[in-house]
């Protein structure tokens, strides 16, 4: 139930910030497929081998055996690469172009903080951050 409510809201919020839904799905399909395969294989192995220590170890080994080949091609992301080899390095186009104001911020962005921002009990313009010694 929560995934049905939070998932679309999450995708909408990310798409509003310039990350396309297509790029999210493109980045997540391998881990999702690997997780589905891993769950199916581990449940099957536990069913066959039993619920004891032997079944747990066998299910773990089998789950890693099916998950690793699916996700292994994504290893370049761990090294800081953004695009897999052979894919263009151009970003996805946003769903709708953002209109920029003259000062470079998106149209509708606040130029000044809202009234009362940074104020509250014990907060003023001269407040000092604690120092650690």
- Give pLDDT tens digits along the chain (133 positions): 777 888 888 888 888 888 888 888 888 899 999 999 999 999 999 999 988 999 999 999 999 999 999 988 888 777 765 555 555 555 555 555 555 555 555 555 556 666 656 555 555 555 555 566 5
Whether 48 is in a domain gets the answer: yes
Give the number of other CB atoms < 10 A from CB of residue 84: 11
Orientation angle between helical segments 21-49 and 53-71, nearest 10 degrees: 150
CB of 68 closer than 8 Å to CB of 75:
no
Whether 123 is in a domain gets the answer: no
Distances, alpha carbon 17 to alpha carbons 7, 10, 14, 69, 89, in Å? 16, 11, 5, 33, 20
pLDDT for position 94: 54
Whether 24 is in a domain gets the answer: no
Bridge partners, 100 (sequence order)? 106
- Domain housing 63: 29-79
Supply the pTM of this predicted model.
Answer: 0.52
């Amino acid at each position: 139930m929560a995934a049905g409510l939070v998932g679309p809201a999450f995708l909408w919020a990310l798409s509003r910030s310039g990350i396309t839904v297509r790029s999210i799905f493109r980045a997540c399909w391998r881990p999702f497929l690997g997780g589905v395969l891993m769950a199916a294989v581990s449940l099957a192995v536990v069913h066959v081998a039993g619920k004891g220590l032997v079944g747990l170890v066998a299910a773990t080994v089998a789950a890693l055996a099916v998950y690793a080949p699916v996700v292994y091609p994504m290893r370049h992301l761990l090294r800081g690469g953004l695009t897999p080899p052979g894919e263009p390095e151009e970003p996805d186009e946003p769903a709708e172009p953002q209109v920029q104001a003259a000062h470079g911020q998106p149209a509708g962005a606040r130029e000044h903080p809202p009234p009362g921002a940074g104020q509250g009990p014990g907060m003023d313009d001269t407040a000092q951050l604690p120092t650690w010694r």
